[in-house]
Amino acid sequence: MSKLWGGRFTKKTDQLVEEYTASILFDKELAEEDIQGSLAHVTMLGKQGVLPADDVEKIKDGLLKVQGMIRRGELEFNVGDEDIHMNIEKALIDEVGPVGGKLHTGRSRNDQVALDMHLWLRKRVVEFVGMLSKLQEALLEQAKQNLDTIIPGYTHLQRAQPILFAHHMMAYVSMFQRDIERLKDSYSRINVLPLGAGALAGTTFPIDRHFVAEQLGFDAVYENSLDAVSDRDFILEFLSNASIIMMHLSRLCEEFVLWSSTEFHFIELDDAFCTGSSIMPQKKNPDVAELVRGKTGRVYGNLFGLLTVLKSLPLAYNKDMQEDKEGMFDTVRTLQGALQLFAPMVATMKVNKDRMRQAVNQDFSNATDIADYLVNKGLPFRQAHEVIGKTVLYCIQQQKFLLDLKLEEYHQFSTLFESDIYEVLQPERVVNARNVYGGTATNQVSGAIERAGKVLESTNAWFEEFYNKSR
């Protein structure tokens, strides 16, 4: 088939130009969506009387046959046909004859490709909501099983205050809930129909854009044809959301890498999610966590790549925008791979409760509670802070911890200390003293787990509704 646009030209396209400008090697990913959009478009052309009913049925039958060929791997894509749209149209004409050329009536590849990406990305966004909810389920289960497990809490990677391990897991449940909310919110901007904008100005044919939107499950139609064909904000928003998700995963990965080391030994990752060394037989490497942490950079790169492509493009469509797809596809694959592995990795993780408790007992993370103890005895906080600082220094010099000191030693620093100080310093007492909403006290964390479970039920209901809608 000659180029659709070849009438204006007196020479064939240079072979190197064809290879350089063709997008079929990557936009074939959009084949299902391209056919889905074409079926809705040709149905609308028939409804509006733009095409006769017989032509519409022939084109629809032909599209379904081409779809079957693609699914069976029987259709050979050709670089000479440039992109997925022209490859499918050529296959359609081969199947049904010249009538297949009528499919493109009232549309342009500019609004066609925009439609394909809206259709493709809205499916992925819904899938990611479902995958994040699975990860939250795994984190919630770890939290439920570790309501009595105390771990050092850190700031500056220095032991700060004892917290429940469940509280630590719930922090990530909250992070991923924000990710879910961002994805759900972005769905409304993805689920807008661009088809009918034509190349940039609309079309002279009496099309019904709202009918097409209804067929394809779109909630709205682009108000402006220029915006419809040039908008890639919805992809940028997804890439930004994906970058934040990967950042959250990477932070948890970093903790898994640290916690599974001999120096920490707080957790043990399941063998199924680790690898060994080719030379050191004793090694068990947290490679999945390390690789997810590393792949975060490529997701960031895809976001910045598209931002750079779009930053100085005039309206409306420009060939530069062909660069919007590979980064999107790569980010989706990268995020899918990470989330598919993460939920089972968290679910099978073993928590070394005894080692965590040992770490809490052998540090000064309960020092703040002594300061609070003195404040409750009437000492101003700044003075109490100085007293405890000197007490900790003494412990370090004597190679002791706060629970090791005798009452007479405490009296060197303040006569306000009484025998009840030893009860105040117990890790369970320290944890449960933070009995404020959002705090690490056991009853507060239990409440947080219960609330998160209800939110998760709502997320799963949203996923079920929109998963079916986006198909």
Task: Render the burial of 144-156: b for 16+ CB within 10 Å, e for the rest.
Answer: eebeebbbbbeee
Active-site residue, from 2, 156, 278, 312: 156
For the question of residue 277 being annotated catalytic, the response is yes
Compute the distance between CA of residue 259 and CA of residue 290 in angstroms, rounded to an integer: 13
Look-up of token digits 């409760």: 353
Structure tokens at 125: 């966004």
Instruction: Report the sign of the C-alpha dihedral through residues 94, 99, 101, 105, in that order.
Output: negative
Compute the distance between CA of residue 93 and CA of residue 465 in angstroms, rounded to an integer: 37
Which CA distances in Å does 381 have to 130, 159, 369, 372, 454?
48, 21, 11, 7, 40
Compute the distance between CA of residue 56 and CA of residue 36 in angstroms, rounded to an integer: 14
Within 10 A of 412 (CB to CB), how many other CB atoms are there?
12
Compute the distance between CA of residue 336 and CA of residue 352 in angstroms, rounded to an integer: 29
Find out whether 176 and 136 touch, Cβ atoms under 8 Å.
Answer: yes
Within 10 A of 62 (CB to CB), how many other CB atoms are there?
23
Tell me whether the omega of the peptide bond preceding residue 316 falls within 30 degrees of 0, making it cis.
yes
Compute the distance between CA of residue 180 and CA of residue 176 in angstroms, rounded to an integer: 6
Active-site residue, from 188, 277, 411, 458: 277
Structure tokens at 309: 């492509």
Compute the distance between CA of residue 173 and CA of residue 140 in angstroms, rounded to an integer: 7
Look-up of token digits 């939290």: 143
Compute the distance between CA of residue 369 and CA of residue 372 in angstroms, rounded to an integer: 5
Distance, C-alpha 391 to centroid of its chain: 46
For the question of residue 248 being annotated catalytic, the response is no
**Angle (deg, nearest 10), helices 442-469 and 165-190:** 30
| Residue in 205, 294, 283, 209 with CA at minimum distance from that of residue 246 | 294
End-to-end CA distance of the chain, in Å? 32
Catalytic positions are 156, 277
